[in-house]
């Protein structure tokens, strides 16, 4: 039998996959090194698939998440002198039951002077509509580089940078979903990159158990301010039909707060998903109670995260005032 030298990455697959008794999670340093090798394209395709699915089956620990996120951040080539946003807002899930009303929350904050940096991906799950296509229909420009994102933040207080321009390697990995049959840890990792070092990071997840993972990873990464909650469809969007548990981190201190449901009965699925309705709601040409409450309460959670309100009631009142005072011309260029 010919002798061979084990690939340096094999040790991380072995740690994760050595069986029920022999396997364990990666330490933060191990996760960092493994992800650094992935981002540097120093591994084989079969190793990437094995690593992603082993991580997916056991679910990421806060240490693994922190290590991989830091490795991704260190791999990014970010120019100097960019505008620092107030709020980092990720969008990786897509919507299939309700329109992405959270986009109007983000634009509402931008309309009132807060700089919102949004990043995301699209097309990895059939039957969903994604942020880039909706923003294009709303007439909001899409950024194609960090420099352009900074320019849009300066001009419009809002920018959306697709993951394909933020990190082509991560985009390639996300696009493996149809081949692997499952979402990979990259969907979780990408949400927390915060590439422009915004002081406030807001997160939406689908599986409630990930609230704790995100919260604890934020502490390990020394993120100053972060909030995470189960969002409608997995996006950063408050579902006003249900209670909403928001878990936060402020300067290393963990906390949580329940935001009670705004309606006694649940609203039906939007069967048409007509994006033009978002324009009509923004302009005040159409009244939709579900949309209004979604926009206002999602905005309220963001205001609370940014420490602009001392209580839930104050946050909702401020968000309501922002909505009533919005510039209806912001989307007026859309046909």
pLDDT at 180: 85
Residue ranges and CATH numbers for the domains of the chain are: 10-75 (1.20.970.10), 87-331 (3.40.1030.10)
| 115 CB-near residues (< 8 Å, 6+ apart) | 83, 84, 85, 86, 87, 153, 157, 158
How many CB atoms within 10 Å of residue 174?
Answer: 23
pLDDT of residue 4: 78
Q: What is the pLDDT of residue 6?
A: 94
Predicted model pTM: 0.95
Which residues are 205's β-sheet partners? 230
* Residues 209, 191: Cα–Cα separation, whole Å: 15
At residue 122, the pLDDT reads 85
Asked whether 12 and 26 are in contact (CB, 8 A), the reply is yes
Q: What is the reported pLDDT for 126?
A: 74
- The conformation of residue 1, written as its DSSP 8-state character, comes to -
Residue 242 to residues 90, 198, 293, Cα–Cα distance (Å): 22, 29, 12
Q: Name the stretches of the chain with pLDDT < 70.
A: 1-3, 124-125, 332-335
Q: Residue 96: helix, strand or coil by DSSP? A: coil
CB 137 within 8 A of CB 277: no
pLDDT one-digit tens code per residue, 139-181: 999 999 999 999 999 999 999 999 999 999 999 999 998 888 8
| Contact status, residue 185 vs residue 55, Cβ threshold 8 Å | yes
């Amino acid at each position: 039998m010919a002798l061979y030298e084990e690939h340096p990455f094999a040790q991380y697959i072995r740690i994760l996959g050595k069986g029920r008794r022999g396997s364990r999670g990666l330490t933060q340093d191990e996760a960092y090194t493994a992800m650094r090798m992935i981002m540097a394209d120093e591994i084989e395709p079969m190793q990437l698939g094995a690593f992603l699915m082993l991580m997916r089956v056991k679910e990421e620990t806060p240490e693994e998440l922190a290590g991989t996120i830091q490795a991704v951040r260190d791999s990014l080539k970010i120019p100097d002198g960019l505008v620092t946003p107030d709020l980092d807002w990720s969008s990786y899930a897509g919507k299939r039951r309700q329109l992405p009303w959270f986009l109007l929350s983000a634009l509402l904050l931008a309309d009132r002077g807060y700089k919102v940096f949004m990043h995301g991906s699209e097309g990895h799950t059939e039957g969903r509509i994604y942020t880039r296509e909706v923003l294009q229909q709303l007439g909001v420009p899409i950024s194609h580089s960090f420099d352009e994102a900074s320019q849009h933040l300066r001009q419009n207080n809002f920018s959306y940078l697709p993951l394909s321009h933020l990190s082509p390697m991560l985009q390639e990995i996300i696009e493996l979903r149809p081949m692997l049959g499952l979402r990979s840890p990259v969907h979780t990792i990408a949400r927390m990159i915060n590439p422009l070092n915004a002081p406030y990071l807001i997160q939406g997840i689908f599986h409630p158990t990930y609230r704790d993972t995100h919260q604890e990873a934020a502490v390990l990464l020394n993120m100053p301010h972060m909030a995470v909650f189960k969002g409608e469809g997995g996006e950063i969007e408050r579902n006003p039909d249900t209670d909403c548990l928001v878990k936060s981190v402020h300067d290393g201190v963990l906390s949580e707060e329940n935001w009670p449901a705004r309606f006694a009965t649940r609203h039906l699925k939007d069967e048409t998903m007509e994006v033009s309705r978002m324009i009509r709601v923004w302009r005040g040409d159409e009244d939709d109670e579900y949309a209004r409450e979604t926009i206002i309460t999602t905005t309220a959670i963001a205001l609370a995260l940014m420490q602009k309100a001392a209580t839930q009631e104050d946050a909702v009142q401020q968000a309501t005032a922002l909505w009533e005072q919005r510039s209806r011309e912001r989307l007026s260029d859309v046909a």
